[in-house]
Structure 1
Amino acid sequence: MTTWLPHPLFQAAQAHPHRIAIRDGLTSLTYEQLLTHVAARGAVLKGMGVDGGTVVGLTGKQNLDWLINFHAIGWCNAAVFPMGDDLRLSDRQLKDLNVTTLIESREDVITVDREETRAGGFAPRWPLDEDRLLIATTGSTGCPKVIPLTTGQLFFSAMGSAIRLGHHIDDNWLMCLPPHHIGGASILLRAVWYGISAELCLPFQSQRVSDRLHSGEVTMVSLVPTMLSRLLASETDPSHYSKLRCVLVGGAHCSKSLYNAAIEAGIPVILTWGMTECASQAATQSPDQNPMTHDCGSPLPFTVVSNEDNRLRIDGPTCPGGLLTRDLGVIENGRVNVEGRSDSVLISGGEKIQPQSVERTFEQHESINGCVAIGLDDEQWGQIICVCVALNEGYEFETELEELVRMGRSTLERHEVPKVWILVPEIPIKGVGKVDRMQLRSRLGLGEANTDESVDEIRWAFRWLKFWKGNESVLLADDAAQISIENSDDRAFKCNRSLTQTLNLHRGKQTLASTHGLVERRVGEDEGQTNASGIEDAIEVSEGSGQHFFETDVSVLEGATIENDPRTVDLMESRSEFVFEGHKQIPNGREADQND
């Protein structure tokens, strides 16, 4: 005998016909009105052959019309497959998923007829073991994977979340996460099971979200860490979120510094960890948990989280058959701590390194907007740690770098200390907030990104900044930089070189002087040459010789030091504490001696 549940929208409309079910801007629908629209749209879909056992793809603008289609597909007992604009599936893939129909939502706004009658007394039944929702996910790496979720998984996840977070009949859940991700789709289903209001706020805009939170009409909101960071940056006084009781943050790692900043600002952040395969949340903090504990809380009711070979495993009705995840973590005092990913472990000198543990060390620094640790191939160590950072506004890389290096040396194990630092314009993000490590490596010239053809193939150009003691290298990545040396392709530090090629040129095997054809000679202004005190001046000065070269705080003089050889350039002085191997530091204001 199959166990089933009545359609949740039907029951919500019977119990609370005049309660607001959904808002989108200035338009709202009561549960009675929403059911009327859904039943009418469902009748049309049934006439098109949509029924139980089929899958319907849903595309288009995610507005009220989209939401009516979402529920109407379920009204037909079919499974709904929300498809984002960036999802690319072939006809063969759609056929394999049993997608029989594609529906695109309309652009026009739904009009509300106050005199519309209620839908009839028949409620569709949802078998617990029948697929109800399909979600496409790429996780942290890899190709898109479509995950089917049953009625039972979605129901037990919804009930477990309500038990943990509490159920208030006047809740209004602000939906900033797109419904083609489990974090967004789950809100739409939970709202009708709970009989509460959901409010569309798509796409995410920090100022718009802030305005809604200040309105006193929103009690709950789900965010990813990137959204929380942007919200904090745009806020002047988040303590005035008068009715807000829960800010659920998940989908990616939330740094301790971001978490603490939100807590100190009075934002009721609740951290959560889960997987699409278990219908969203697996572990979630309790609203009365000590806010200074930076973990993901205990497993939800109906869900069991355990540790198996250092990997987190999920069992229970939210994840039938169990799932051994790729997330590494521990269970301490009944609470889940996620420590990284088993598929992103780096190995340097035989030692295993979790890049997330390196990242979390530096994410606490106030200057860091984003931080990613990657491995670079190295003949001696196998891999060395490279940290890519994006800074908050108002911070200078050269100023903060020395403190970051000291922080790494004092906090991390010796094999975890970064050997290469790269300042990048931004940390690539995919989906709703996950770091796109493949795209980052591609932009650094370390591999091809697994993205569609519309993504540009930009490679960041690099400016060499300093050469630190202890073989620590520093690069600036800048889309605007142009680095080239004409007629010297075999030795030049060029923007189309990969990061690995660049490092091989400069990692002590060859001096910078030899790789760039630089020689040290007696030079001075009395020879009619112009002192260039900065990067921009250096570019302008060097244009005459057909050579572009960047080095912070190193004066570049116009004119070749070897007659008729445009590849060479003089270095007169350096204000850097450390300079490139092969160069000699010359005190500021003193001419170079021939024998220095």
Structure 2
Amino acid sequence: MSQWQNGTEMPRWLDKRAGLTPERTAVICGEEKRTFRRLAEEVRKTARRLSGLGVGRGDRVAFLMPNGLHTVTLIHAISWLGAVLVPLNTRLAPREIAWQLEDSGAKVMIVNEAHRSLGEAARKACVEGAPKALSWDELGDQPEQETEGCSRISLDDLHTLMYTSGTTGRPKGVMLTWGNHWWSATASALNLGLDPADKWLAAVPLFHMSGLSILMRSLICGMTAVVHPAFDPARANRAIAEDGVTIASVVGTMLTRMLDELGEEHYPESFRCMLLGGGPAPRPLLERCKRKGVPVFQTYGMTETASQIVTLSPEDSLRKLGSAGKPLFPSELKIVGDNRELAPGEAGEIVVRGPNVTRGYWKREDATRDAIRDGWLYTGDLGYVDEEGFLYVLDRRHDLIISGGENVYPAEVEAVLISHPAVEEAGVTGFSDKDWGQVPVAFVKPKEGQSVAENELLRHCRERLARYKVPVRIHEVEELPKNASNKLLRRRLPELIPGGGQGETGP
């Protein structure tokens, strides 16, 4: 039986899409627009230039570039050749980038002018096997070499090698196949529906899973990707109000800033989905969206699942406020603890499986064996399902605070702190305590021009939380520690206290 009969092989996506809907708009970046036909033409030219550098099927090609039409073109050109995409986070330090270049075995690295010095510093930091590096402009000057590229693709082939944020230890290279991306896009379409007029806003980085997945959906579903160079709340709101954006992918802090900028205005009825990911959403934020009629679809996913794997369906978005929804078709989910599957309402580790789940980590067989067992991915996240099977995400397992035998989820305490009108961001972590084992300590960043007394925040928490969940101390800080993916680093919160907050309680 052929691969085609097995359903694992199909025509190259960009060529197929350009043949189906050649004049439909594929991407909008500022004043620049490209139809699928024209995008395919420019991608083929870029692919031939990469081929002239010796890039072929299976080779790793890294890129260190911000959002833009050039990045969209490069991503598709790498895929057109059947090479493997290695997105690099532009917020990383040179040594961090160097490690990923070496670990992935990247053959070529493409940078833009703004990141040329960062790319060069990363190459110099490589101990061995530094890739050839070119700027986007230099790539445009390269001679083209005729190539058919990868005319047919197998869903089993590796498409992307994307490194996790590395909140603990070295980042791991998540291996994502063409099939992972295919099933992720298909599952999303089955949940949200397809509309030829859809425009999906990508104000999140294309080097992140959330941004890259939008480009994959654009090709597979034939929708327009509206790519912003960086997130700006006013520009994002204008894209929805004036430019016809119907779907947007955001995280909590982005949504909060968009609502603040929106003020008393409302989004048009044509805007049908605010896809909210990036961790447990504070309930006050969801309540605020409900009052303003913002169609928030809370979702749960990660790099290992090629974007979302659980999403709240439209008909349940208000009835199940705070839930991440149910597993998308055809994925599965269960909650485990104490070596057994837990009953509804019991909190434990979230475990998922499905065709969009990674097959493992590059050159990390130990990590793969630990995370993937009998086809199930053990996420390290904590949550529970209710009697109807809806998932509620609580927190990262490693961030759990156990105080006097009771579980304290930092995200829950942070949500209460953020609900105070003077607080912009909050972080909570556990400190050792001789009586309780651990106690929660909070750090808050006030909104610009505002300040709030610790006693006021403690009173605010006591009115909304069980006694054991109330922080023993609340510190006001100028910034919270974040990693290169802009995620809160709770393990670094003690560093904000003089002396590092070491020792028994006493912070």
TM-score (norm 1): 0.69
Moved more, 257-266 or 387-396: 387-396
- Aligned match of 2:87 in 68, 82, 85? 82
Asked if structure 1 preserves the Cα contact closer than 8 Å seen for 2:165 and 2:485, the reply is: no
Asked if structure 2 preserves the Cα contact closer than 8 Å seen for 1:137 and 1:181, the reply is: no
TM alignment of 1:415-426, pairs within 5 A? 415-426=468-479
- Aligned match of 1:331 in 372, 377, 385? 385
- How far residue 99 of structure 1 moved from its aligned partner, in angstroms, is 1.4
1:430–1:253 distance in 2 versus 1, CA, 3 Å: farther
Q: What is the CA deviation profile of residues 21-54 of structure 1, one whole-angstrom value per residue up to 9, with x for unaligned ones?
A: 1111111111110000111111121222212221
Cα distance in 1 between the residues matched to 2:187 and 2:219: 15
Cα distance in 1 between the residues matched to 2:98 and 2:474: 44
Name the SS of the counterpart of 1:169 in structure 2: coil
- How far residue 250 of structure 1 moved from its aligned partner, in angstroms, is 0.2
Matched, 1:70 2:75: yes
Asked if structure 2 preserves the Cα contact closer than 8 Å seen for 1:313 and 1:324, the reply is: yes
Match for 1:100: what amino acid? Answer: K
Residue 40 of structure 1 is matched in structure 2 by 45
Moved more, 147-156 or 253-262: 253-262
- How far residue 370 of structure 1 moved from its aligned partner, in angstroms, is 1.8
Asked if structure 1 preserves the Cα contact closer than 8 Å seen for 2:80 and 2:149, the reply is: no
Matched, 1:430 2:458: no
Name the SS of the counterpart of 1:239 in structure 2: coil
Moved more, 366-375 or 126-135: 366-375
Moved more, 382-391 or 84-93: 84-93
Moved more, 231-240 or 199-208: 231-240
Residue 396 of structure 2 is matched in structure 1 by 341
Asked if structure 2 preserves the Cα contact closer than 8 Å seen for 1:256 and 1:363, the reply is: no
Asked if structure 2 preserves the Cα contact closer than 8 Å seen for 1:306 and 1:312, the reply is: yes
Residue 332 of structure 2 is matched in structure 1 by 304
Query: Which structure has the bigger radius of gyration?
Result: 1
Match for 1:323: what amino acid? Answer: L
- How far residue 218 of structure 1 moved from its aligned partner, in angstroms, is 0.9
Residue 16 of structure 1 is matched in structure 2 by 21
1:40–1:209 distance in 2 versus 1, CA, 3 Å: same
1:258–1:90 distance in 2 versus 1, CA, 3 Å: closer
Q: What is the CA deviation profile of residues 211-263 of structure 1, one whole-angstrom value per residue up to 9, with x for unaligned ones?
A: 21110421111111111111111113441434211111101222111111122
Residue 539 of structure 1 is matched in structure 2 by none
Matched, 1:255 2:282: yes
Asked if structure 1 preserves the Cα contact closer than 8 Å seen for 2:400 and 2:407, the reply is: yes
Residue 317 of structure 1 is matched in structure 2 by 355
1:61–1:276 distance in 2 versus 1, CA, 3 Å: closer
Using the aligned pairs only, state the percent identity.
31
- How far residue 402 of structure 1 moved from its aligned partner, in angstroms, is 4.0
Asked if structure 1 preserves the Cα contact closer than 8 Å seen for 2:51 and 2:147, the reply is: no
Cα distance in 1 between the residues matched to 2:150 and 2:55: 17
Name the SS of the counterpart of 1:13 in structure 2: helix
TM alignment of 1:318-397, pairs within 5 A? 318-319=356-357, 320=359, 321-332=375-386, 333-393=388-448, 395-397=450-452
Cα distance in 1 between the residues matched to 2:149 and 2:448: 58
Match for 2:404: what amino acid? Answer: G
Asked if structure 1 preserves the Cα contact closer than 8 Å seen for 2:66 and 2:229, the reply is: no
Asked if structure 2 preserves the Cα contact closer than 8 Å seen for 1:246 and 1:270, the reply is: yes
- Aligned match of 2:183 in 151, 156, 159? 156
Cα distance in 2 between the residues matched to 1:165 and 1:123: 31
Match for 1:17: what amino acid? Answer: P
Residue 104 of structure 2 is matched in structure 1 by 97
Name the SS of the counterpart of 1:243 in structure 2: coil
Of the two structures, which has the highest relative contact order with CA contacts closer than 8 Å and spacing of 6 or more? Answer: 2
Cα distance in 2 between the residues matched to 1:420 and 1:235: 34
Cα distance in 2 between the residues matched to 1:206 and 1:90: 29
Asked if structure 1 preserves the Cα contact closer than 8 Å seen for 2:203 and 2:229, the reply is: yes
Any stretches of 5+ residues in structure 2 without a counterpart?
Answer: 115-134, 138-145, 338-347, 360-374
1:60–1:341 distance in 2 versus 1, CA, 3 Å: closer
Match for 1:297: what amino acid? Answer: G
Match for 1:218: what amino acid? Answer: V
Cα distance in 2 between the residues matched to 1:351 and 1:285: 29
Moved more, 271-280 or 385-394: 385-394
Alignment coverage as a number of residue pairs: 444
Residue 130 of structure 2 is matched in structure 1 by none
Asked if structure 2 preserves the Cα contact closer than 8 Å seen for 1:214 and 1:242, the reply is: no
Name the SS of the counterpart of 1:5 in structure 2: strand
Asked if structure 1 preserves the Cα contact closer than 8 Å seen for 2:311 and 2:327, the reply is: yes
Matched, 1:179 2:206: yes
1:61–1:295 distance in 2 versus 1, CA, 3 Å: closer
Cα distance in 1 between the residues matched to 2:404 and 2:427: 20
Name the SS of the counterpart of 1:430 in structure 2: coil
- How far residue 62 of structure 1 moved from its aligned partner, in angstroms, is 2.9
Cα distance in 2 between the residues matched to 1:236 and 1:134: 40
Residue 35 of structure 2 is matched in structure 1 by 30
1:142–1:364 distance in 2 versus 1, CA, 3 Å: farther
Q: What is the CA deviation profile of residues 467-505 of structure 1, one whole-angstrom value per residue up to 9, with x for unaligned ones?
A: xxxxxxxxxxxxxxxxxxxxxxxxxxxxxx44447975x
Q: What is the CA deviation profile of residues 304-339 of structure 1, one whole-angstrom value per residue up to 9, with x for unaligned ones?
A: 111111100011111153211111111111211111
Match for 1:316: what amino acid? Answer: G
- How far residue 409 of structure 1 moved from its aligned partner, in angstroms, is 3.3
- How far residue 172 of structure 1 moved from its aligned partner, in angstroms, is 0.9
Cα distance in 2 between the residues matched to 1:68 and 1:16: 18
1:282–1:392 distance in 2 versus 1, CA, 3 Å: same
1:441–1:288 distance in 2 versus 1, CA, 3 Å: same
Name the SS of the counterpart of 2:51 in structure 1: helix
Cα distance in 2 between the residues matched to 1:349 and 1:92: 41
Matched, 1:223 2:250: yes
- How far residue 353 of structure 1 moved from its aligned partner, in angstroms, is 2.6
TM alignment of 1:120-159, pairs within 5 A? 124-138=151-165, 140-159=167-186
Aligned-residue Cα RMSD (Å) equals 2.6
Any stretches of 5+ residues in structure 1 without a counterpart?
Answer: 111-118, 446-496, 508-596
Name the SS of the counterpart of 1:305 in structure 2: strand
Moved more, 307-316 or 90-99: 90-99
Cα distance in 1 between the residues matched to 2:457 and 2:113: 51
Name the SS of the counterpart of 1:390 in structure 2: strand
Asked if structure 2 preserves the Cα contact closer than 8 Å seen for 1:136 and 1:144, the reply is: yes
- How far residue 297 of structure 1 moved from its aligned partner, in angstroms, is 0.9
TM alignment of 1:170-569, pairs within 5 A? 170-292=197-319, 293-309=321-337, 310-319=348-357, 320=359, 321-332=375-386, 333-393=388-448, 395-398=450-453, 401-445=454-498, 497-500=499-502, 504=506
Match for 1:96: what amino acid? Answer: D
Asked if structure 2 preserves the Cα contact closer than 8 Å seen for 1:251 and 1:433, the reply is: no
- How far residue 191 of structure 1 moved from its aligned partner, in angstroms, is 0.3
Cα distance in 2 between the residues matched to 1:68 and 1:216: 22
- How far residue 406 of structure 1 moved from its aligned partner, in angstroms, is 3.3
1:357–1:141 distance in 2 versus 1, CA, 3 Å: farther
Name the SS of the counterpart of 1:77 in structure 2: coil
Cα distance in 1 between the residues matched to 2:438 and 2:389: 36
1:406–1:61 distance in 2 versus 1, CA, 3 Å: closer
Cα distance in 1 between the residues matched to 2:151 and 2:452: 60
Residue 538 of structure 1 is matched in structure 2 by none
Cα distance in 2 between the residues matched to 1:387 and 1:432: 22
